[in-house]
Structure 1
Amino acid sequence: MSLFQPGQLGELELANRLVMAPLGRARSDERSREPLPRVATYYSQRASAGLIVSEATHVAAESVSRPGGSAIHDDAQVEAWKPVTAAVHAEGGRIFQQLFHLGRKAHQSRTPNHQLPVAPSAIAARGEVATPDGQQPFPVPRALALEEVAQRVEDFRRAARNAGQAGFDGVEIHAANGYLIDQFLRDGANQRSDAYGGSVEKRARFLLEIVDAAIDELGASRVGVRVSPHFRVDGIDDSDPAALYAYVADQLQARGIAYLHLIEPDSTPANERLAPDLRQRFKGAFILAAEFDRDSAIRAIAEGRADFIAFGRLFIANPDLVERFRRQAPLNTPDEASFYVGGDHGYIDYPFLGETQFHAERAATGEPA
């Protein structure tokens, strides 16, 4: 198996085994959260990836992040996403939309009517969040009542349906990085004593109901899930992650979804890695992400540790990353100052290989680029 060979993901045959990881770039309309024309350009430039997973996209108005974050919960947003998927498909690419809800990591300065963010339990995330008044500590969220949980499942159902209508090839359920689904999964953030808290089975129920809803709307072959067992920076943790994610993998395998996307840095010590066990349990496409470069990705694929490798920062700066890897060509350096702010600069103006050579030749002759 080679990084550059086609690979099967659900019912899709992908051109190669490089995945563009979900990357929030805050380039959508700041008020409507509809993607702007430059978003279509950005993703179409990177359509040579075997699969693009879109930026995390809000499933409800109560889930709001920094200005420029995108959403998929109303009809206007659906219409605004259609040119994006069309542009990717015109270049021969495939794109899934990542769906998420911030949960306790939202802030009441941005929520409708300044309501408190919601979570499985009234436990604040550790750290600070950007607000109109500067950095503020994460607020203590309001714990969802039992009867309110179903509405959040329906928010994800609607978003999955909307993604299909917008032309996405599928959806990735974002159950990672300390957001709402992750908050339900882990006992450090979920201290409920009802049907959604306590045992591993009960804490995983919210995720699995969302997965089932997405399957109802799109079919299992168009649904993926992303998890991050090693993510702890905002205070989220679990007393037995190996048992938790083994159960999740078993349940996702039983549902026959397209893929499981695991954030596990390549530097993770061997005795802490969950990938070997999860790969045995989950038989669909298996994606690994975090800290991979060309050589480590080629090695992971050749060793059968994953079917696909996801890259984030490298795809930001190198729209033609697949070709650069194939040729072992030099890589552009990411401009970190423009990751989450700005317009076209640092977003759709990174040079392709031919353009890089052109500028280098100009510089060598002393001519202006």
Structure 2
Amino acid sequence: MHAKGGHLFIQRMHAGRMSHPDNTPHHRPGVAPSAIAPGTPMFTATGMQDIPAPRALTTEEVRRTVDDFRLAARRAIEVATAIADEIGADRTGIRLSPGTTMRGIDEGAEGPDLYRYLVAELDKLGLAYLHVMHQGDEPLLADLRNRWKQPLIVNRPGRPRGQVGADVASGLADLEADGQMVLANPDFVGRLKADAPMNEAQRHTFFGGSAPGDTDYPTPGRRRRRLRHTITPAIATLQRANHGSHFRAYLLRGAAALIDPFIGVDHARMSAPTFPPHPHAGFSAVSYLFLDSETGIDNRDSIGTHNLTRPGGLHWTTAGRGIVHEEVPAETGKTVHSLQSFVNLPPQRRATAPS
């Protein structure tokens, strides 16, 4: 990222009860007014675990904690000043989420005015940026823009593709934050410039701690390489081994290659004894036999399938993590005409068992 002119900021936050004992040096549960578990898992050093119920605070601890938060709120500007003095204002940013209701938060009617005051005071420090997680209060966002003279980053959760860049273009923001869309599209900027389709973020993989949903979202180049390495070698083998068969592939190219989930189509005219075993991985294959075929095809594979597909019929194989497939005409010497479509599997299904 640095080599390409990017910059990294570390976000520090108080986790509250959204923590796990295995992620703390003392291995103690969090504390809260009541011993009620959040009901959500968290990634730990040993994998995903449910967050346990926190320890219930005593009445005195509740009073002391309320005072702690009250004091912390009063010192928000002091804390920001201290951090800026320590590491430099130009290396310090702050993120605010006005109006959030996440996990039961209720800021009350005075919330918007509190943010107006806080932002005006923080602006005096000359920080690197203010990052606003926008929840829909447009008048408040406009007021914060007027009070903040430094770079302003606006994040609109669920921002539609067609609105990317709109806040910068209108002058409301200096930068826009796009989280899920960027996570799911490693080549996000390139796709925007080419007006290409975007991968959809796989929410069930968020905060999972492993590659799925983190480093396995395909780019157009990766998808084409994967096609060349799996489908095309098999096609070449079939053409060489079966002199009585003709196999023509129509792999999507250019902008069409970005379309997910469809990754390619082929047309086969077959009169040889067999299409020998060949690999499928990471996609589904749907085969249709044209009605003018003189016979059917016995589809066989490495998981024990023997399925006779007759003219006008379909055969559907989901390869998942990998399968070896063979097609054998039901009657030797008779011609079969088929159309096969390769359909890319979503990331969470590419490692599943074939079927």
Query: Per the shorter chain, which TM-score range?
Result: 0.5 to 0.7
1:90 to 2:3 alignment? yes
In the alignment, structure 2 segments of 5+ residues that lack a partner are: 43-47, 228-250, 254-262, 267-278, 282-355
The corresponding residue for 1:261 is 131
Aligned counterpart for 1:316 among listed residues 177, 183, 204: 183
1:207 to 2:76 alignment? yes
Give the conservation status (yes or no) of the 8 Å contact 2:29–2:52: no
Alpha-carbon separation, structure 1, partners of 2:35 and 2:103? 9
More moved, 123-132 vs 208-217:
123-132
1:361 to 2:276 alignment? no
Aligned counterpart for 2:102 among listed residues 226, 233, 244: 233
In structure 2, give the amino acid aligned to 1:128: G
Instruction: Name the one with the larger strand percent.
Output: 2
1:106 to 2:19 alignment? yes
In 2 relative to 1, CA 264–278 (structure 1 residues): closer, same or farther, beyond 3 Å? same
1:341 to 2:212 alignment? no
1:249 to 2:249 alignment? no
Helix, strand or coil at the partner of 2:165: helix
Helix, strand or coil at the partner of 1:99: coil
Give the conservation status (yes or no) of the 8 Å contact 1:249–1:282: yes
Alpha-carbon separation, structure 2, partners of 1:216 and 1:144? 33
Shift of 1:352: 2.1
Alpha-carbon separation, structure 1, partners of 2:63 and 2:87? 29
In structure 1, give the amino acid aligned to 2:142: P
How many positions carry a matched residue from both structures?
227
The corresponding residue for 1:328 is 195
Helix, strand or coil at the partner of 2:94: strand
Give the conservation status (yes or no) of the 8 Å contact 1:117–1:141: no
In structure 2, give the amino acid aligned to 1:105: M
Alpha-carbon separation, structure 2, partners of 1:123 and 1:251? 35
Give the conservation status (yes or no) of the 8 Å contact 1:259–1:287: yes
Give the conservation status (yes or no) of the 8 Å contact 2:154–2:177: yes
In structure 1, give the amino acid aligned to 2:148: F
Q: Give the TM-score normalised by structure 1.
A: 0.53
The corresponding residue for 1:167 is none
1:224 to 2:99 alignment? no
Alpha-carbon separation, structure 1, partners of 2:212 and 2:66? 44
In 2 relative to 1, CA 123–310 (structure 1 residues): closer, same or farther, beyond 3 Å? farther
Alpha-carbon separation, structure 1, partners of 2:3 and 2:13? 27
Shift of 1:212: 2.1
Give the conservation status (yes or no) of the 8 Å contact 2:31–2:54: no
In 2 relative to 1, CA 113–144 (structure 1 residues): closer, same or farther, beyond 3 Å? farther
The corresponding residue for 2:334 is none
Give the conservation status (yes or no) of the 8 Å contact 2:31–2:55: no
Give the conservation status (yes or no) of the 8 Å contact 1:250–1:281: yes
Aligned counterpart for 1:191 among listed residues 53, 66, 74: 66
Which portions of structure 1, spanning 4 or more consecutive aligned residues, are displaced by more than 6 angstroms? 123-126
More moved, 226-235 vs 332-341:
332-341
Give the conservation status (yes or no) of the 8 Å contact 1:116–1:141: no
In structure 1, give the amino acid aligned to 2:41: A
Give the conservation status (yes or no) of the 8 Å contact 2:129–2:152: yes
Deviation readout 1:189-208 (Å, 9 max, x if unpaired)? x732x7x52xxxx5533433
Alpha-carbon separation, structure 1, partners of 2:31 and 2:55? 10
The corresponding residue for 1:78 is none
1:115 to 2:6 alignment? no
In 2 relative to 1, CA 251–125 (structure 1 residues): closer, same or farther, beyond 3 Å? farther
Helix, strand or coil at the partner of 1:226: strand
Helix, strand or coil at the partner of 2:252: helix
In 2 relative to 1, CA 364–134 (structure 1 residues): closer, same or farther, beyond 3 Å? closer
In 2 relative to 1, CA 256–125 (structure 1 residues): closer, same or farther, beyond 3 Å? farther
Q: Give the TM-score normalised by structure 2.
A: 0.55
In structure 1, give the amino acid aligned to 2:221: G
In 2 relative to 1, CA 114–342 (structure 1 residues): closer, same or farther, beyond 3 Å? closer
Q: Percent identity?
A: 33
Give the conservation status (yes or no) of the 8 Å contact 1:126–1:234: no
Aligned counterpart for 1:130 among listed residues 38, 41, 57: 41
Alpha-carbon separation, structure 2, partners of 1:97 and 1:233? 22
Shift of 1:330: 0.8
Alpha-carbon separation, structure 2, partners of 1:347 and 1:339? 8
**RMSD value, Cα:** 3.3
In 2 relative to 1, CA 134–302 (structure 1 residues): closer, same or farther, beyond 3 Å? closer
